Amino acid sequence: MQVTVENSGGLQRRLTVQVPAEEVQGKIDARLKEIGKTARMKGFRPGRIPMTVLKQRYGGSVRNEVLSQTMQSSLAEAIAQEKIQPAGNPVIESVPDLNGTDELSFTALIEVYPEFDKIDVSALELTAPQTEVSDDDVSNMLQTLREQRQSWEEVERKAEKGDQVLFEYAAENEAGRVPEEGMTLLAVPFGTSGFDALEDLLGGLAPGETGEADLTFPEDFSANQLAGKEAKVSVKVNSVRESSMPELDEAFIRSFGVESGALEDMQSEVRNNLERELTGARLTYLKTQLVKRLLDAHAELEVPESLIQQEAAQLQAMAAQRQGKQADPAEAAAFEEPARQRVRAGLLMGEIARQNDIAVDGAKVRQAIEMVASTYEQADEVVQMYYNNPDMLRAIESSVLEEQVVEWALEHASVSSQDMVFTDLINAAAESR
């Protein structure tokens, strides 16, 4: 077998593979002999059918079968021989129409991974957040848990901060009326909705009362026809509901699985959970910085188009799923640049791991899987599901390896410290996801 490699520009390689005619014919003859052992034809005993007859009966199909298998096996052998790392599936360009005396010669286009110089992490500047879980953070989380369990009771009075107001409204301006007929029902948390002018109107009304005012709607208002526009608004308050918060007593504490019912134990449990959340947020915050610095330093790195298209398709599918709709092919181009950056970042992170012999830590993979499984009732079954599913296991391993790269980079990059409060770090990490 002869192999030649041509650089077709960028990351494209064209392989020309030539397999001698006698090798191809030998495989065809061997396959025909194999068929002849079991084939049944009128006038011949099993295993006694002449080769000329076998060729007449099965030659065409056997030839196609052998050519297909030989192309696959010889292409794989050529890729290994030339030490090529395909980034996507090879594309066979052309296959000649062979007769029995021709060699098998075909070409394949292969997109390869980029070649890397040494990535100098020491030149990167990172900021490490210095954050602790404070007593106030624990108290705030306990308050949040109480708010999640709050109940609502209707009251016959005007709304106060913290109430929930259920009302109907209609708005009209030069563009028309919203809605075209009747009223739209809406509920707002009074005092925290961010629409102060509307709250001023509602705050002067008791249940059953109506009012009107000229208002300018926020840019992010839910009705697109009104967002950022002025309109005359009519409202009717249907009900005002007052919050009733559960006491932080033994029953409430036990409902969260703290068997002792003691406030100190609940506080300890909350603190542990917040510290786990803090660890994850810190890694996310640092990873975001590291990726940005790497992308800035390697903005010209060419990445395989096949990987970009795969990533773009995944991003579009996830976006469509979040919006509860089908992915629109016309919108696919909008996902290509984010996909390009994600692929480039993944290749750079992977190359740092390769150049510095950072191997995925099996114990950390197990810990990550058990962390996910702990949120399910049948935790042991979830753990086994991950280990039995190669795709799920590979995703966890990839995530863990990236965390290890971030931790390694912290030891080798130029790192400065920055004091951050817990909520700021959590919010910063959430925004970067």
Instruction: Say whether pLDDT at 21 is over 90.
Output: no
> Cβ contacts of residue 232 below 8 Å, gap of 6+?
171, 172, 173, 212, 213, 214
Burial class of residue 263 in the structure, from the number of CB atoms within 10 Å of its CB (0-12 exposed, 13-18 middle, 19+ buried): middle
103 confidence band (pLDDT: 50, 70, 90): confident
Confirm if 261 and 92 have CB atoms less than 8 A apart.
no
What CATH code would you report for 2-111?
3.30.70.1050
pLDDT at 68: 87
Query: Phi then psi for 52, rounded to 5 degrees?
Result: -60, -35
Query: Phi then psi for 162, rounded to 5 degrees?
Result: 100, -15
CA–CA distance, 10 with 302 (Å, rounded to integer): 8
Q: How large is the average pLDDT for residues 282-302?
A: 94
In this predicted structure, which of 27-41, 178-192, 255-269, 415-429 has the lowest mean pLDDT? Answer: 27-41
Pair type for strands 176-178 and 164-173:
antiparallel
CA count, 13 A, side-chain hemisphere, 389: 11
pLDDT at 96: 66
Q: How large is the average pLDDT for residues 365-371?
A: 94
327 confidence band (pLDDT: 50, 70, 90): confident
121-136+254-432 CATH pick, 3.40.1190.20, 2.60.40.10, 1.10.3120.10, 3.30.1380.10: 1.10.3120.10
Q: How does the average pLDDT of the chain come out, rounded?
A: 91
All CATH 3.30.70.1050 domain ranges in the chain, comma separated: 2-111
pLDDT more than 90, % of the chain: 73
Instruction: Say whether pLDDT at 101 is over 80.
Output: no
pTM of the full predicted structure?
0.75
pLDDT at 99: 59
Burial class of residue 64 in the structure, from the number of CB atoms within 10 Å of its CB (0-12 exposed, 13-18 middle, 19+ buried): exposed
Sign of the CA dihedral running 145, 148, 153, 158: positive
CA count, 13 A, side-chain hemisphere, 78: 25
All CATH 3.10.50.40 domain ranges in the chain, comma separated: 151-244
What region, left, alpha or beta, does residue 228 occupy, with left being phi > 0 and alpha being psi -120 to 50 degrees? left
pLDDT at 100: 55
All CATH 1.10.3120.10 domain ranges in the chain, comma separated: 121-136+254-432
User: Which of these, 333, 310, 269, 307, lies nearest to 133 by C-alpha position?
Assistant: 269
CA–CA distance, 277 with 283 (Å, rounded to integer): 10
Helices and strands (H, E) in the chain, number of each type: 12, 12
Higher pLDDT, residue 270 or 321: 270
151-244 CATH pick, 3.40.309.10, 3.20.20.210, 3.10.50.40, 3.40.50.300: 3.10.50.40
